[in-house]
């Protein structure tokens, strides 16, 4: 299949591209390289295009004529989105709108969108299934929900098959340390930040030590990036069947606290992770982990990799000297 991957030079996107190539798909990458890196997709020269620029987006779609689009390009920090809601709406919503318009004009048949568990806000009940109320608590979560709805309306009109994947917390790297998350000032994820603390000795800031959890720190669902990439490819291939269209939660269903992650990094690396506790951040839930039963039942996706593989692979990658700051 010809598959256009927006944001394909980013963390999740580069794993999706790698897996698509392993499955012999014809892949093109659209990315403005704002956080992504060309070296993350060494076999492909990305089209360096801002997703907000409708004419440039349309030109890529016209020239490549993809049968499927996997749309990952966007901004992803809830905390930053509270400071810069205009930017988040512009990149995430306007960008998705430009892409959908081009998809419609050129008859793209399948579309997979990177959504987020941020659409649920603070879940009342865990594990969270797809029927849980959506109550985003940041502009970031709002933009993801707006894009999901735009996608559903668009699909009704065009007949395009679609999936919105609500990822929980993505982490980890290739098992051989050959690919992972490039870090820099934009890095917001716990695992690379905690590894950075272990390697640099500069304490990790843990937001909230007084949550009603067993150790007082926030509890999340960490999903290996390779398992996540496999879900995208499985869906793109399976969307032959219209019944696969829909919203899917993607997580492991195995919760872990911030301090558990810290301890596991210490075990794997043999280095202490210095940290200090800071006040909770507005909008950060105490608990969030996924019920991914719908994905298992519908397209037979079950994440294979455990937390220790996430931490081991991430440590290997960040120790390779190729990941940036951490």
Which residues are the active-site residues?
140
Residue 281, both tokens: 């951040």
In our burial notation (b when 16+ CB lie closer than 10 A, e otherwise), range 303-316 reads bebebebbbbbbbb
Taking CB under 6 A as the binding criterion, the range among 148-156, 162-170, 202-210, 305-313 that sits at the site for ligand NAD is: 162-170
CB of 88 to ligand NAD, least distance (A): 10
Kindly identify the residues of this chain, within the stretch 172-201, that bind ligand NAD according to CB under 6 A.
Answer: 189
Q: Three-state SS for 323?
A: coil
Nearer to ligand NAD, 12 or 236 (CB): 12
Is residue 170 close enough to count as binding ligand NAD by CB under 6 A?
yes
Phi, psi of 218 (to 5 degrees): -65, 145
Cβ neighbors of 25 (< 8 A, separation 6 or more) are: 1, 2, 3, 233, 236
Rule CB under 6 A: say whether 10 interacts with ligand NAD: yes
List 81, 97, 169, 217, residue binding ligand NAD (CB under 6 A): 169
Judged by CB, which is closer to ligand NAD: 81, or 217?
A: 81
C-beta closer to ligand NAD: residue 10 or 209:
10
What is the full DSSP assignment across 289-319? -B--HHHHHHH-------HHHHHHHHHHHHH
Interface pick for ligand NAD out of 73, 163, 190, 307 (rule CB under 6 A): 73
Residue 141 interacting with ligand NAD (CB under 6 A):
no
Window 101 to 130, contacts with ligand NAD (CB under 6 A): 114, 116
Question: What 3-state class would DSSP assign to 197?
Answer: helix
- CB closer to ligand NAD out of 50 and 274: 50
Whole-number Cα distances in Å, 99 to 68, 175, 216: 12, 33, 42
Nearest to 225, CA basis, from 252, 255, 197, 246:
252
Query: Segment 20-59, which members bind ligand NAD (CB under 6 A)?
Result: 31-36, 50-52
Q: By the criterion CB under 6 A, which residues form the site for ligand NAD?
A: 7, 9-13, 31-36, 50-52, 72-76, 91, 95, 114, 116, 167, 169-170, 189
């Amino acid at each position: 299949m010809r598959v256009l991957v927006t944001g394909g030079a980013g963390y999740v996107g580069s794993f999706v591209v790698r897996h698509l190539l392993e499955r012999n798909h014809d892949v093109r990458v659209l990315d403005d390289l704002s956080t992504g890196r060309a070296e993350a997709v060494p076999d492909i020269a990305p089209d360096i295009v801002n997703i907000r620029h409708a004419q440039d987006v349309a030109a890529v779609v016209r020239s490549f004529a993809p049968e499927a689009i996997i749309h990952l390009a966007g901004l992803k920090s809830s905390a930053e989105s509270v400071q810069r809601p205009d930017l988040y709406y512009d990149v995430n919503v306007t960008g998705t709108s430009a892409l959908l318009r081009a998809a419609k004009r050129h008859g793209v048949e399948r579309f997979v969108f990177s959504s987020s568990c941020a659409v649920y806000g603070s879940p009342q009940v865990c594990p969270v299934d797809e029927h849980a109320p959506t109550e985003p608590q940041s502009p970031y979560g709002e933009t993801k929900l707006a894009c999901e709805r735009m996608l559903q309306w668009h699909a009704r009109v065009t007949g395009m098959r679609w999936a919105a994947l609500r990822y929980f917390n993505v982490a980890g790297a290739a098992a051989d340390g050959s690919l992972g998350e490039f870090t820099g000032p934009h890095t917001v994820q716990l695992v690379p930040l905690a590894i950075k603390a272990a390697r640099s000795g500069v304490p990790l800031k843990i937001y909230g030590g007084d949550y009603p959890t067993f150790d007082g720190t926030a509890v999340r669902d960490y999903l290996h990036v390779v398992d996540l990439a496999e879900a995208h490819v499985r869906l793109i291939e399976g969307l032959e069947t219209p019944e696969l269209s829909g919203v899917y939660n993607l997580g492991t269903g195995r919760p872990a606290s911030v301090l558990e992650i810290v301890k596991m990094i210490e075990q794997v690396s043999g280095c202490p992770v210095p940290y200090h506790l800071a006040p909770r951040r507005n909008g950060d839930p105490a608990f969030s982990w996924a019920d991914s039963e719908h994905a298992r039942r519908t397209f037979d996706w079950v994440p294979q990799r455990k937390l220790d593989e996430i931490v081991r692979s991430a440590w290997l990658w960040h120790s390779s000297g190729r990941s940036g700051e951490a």
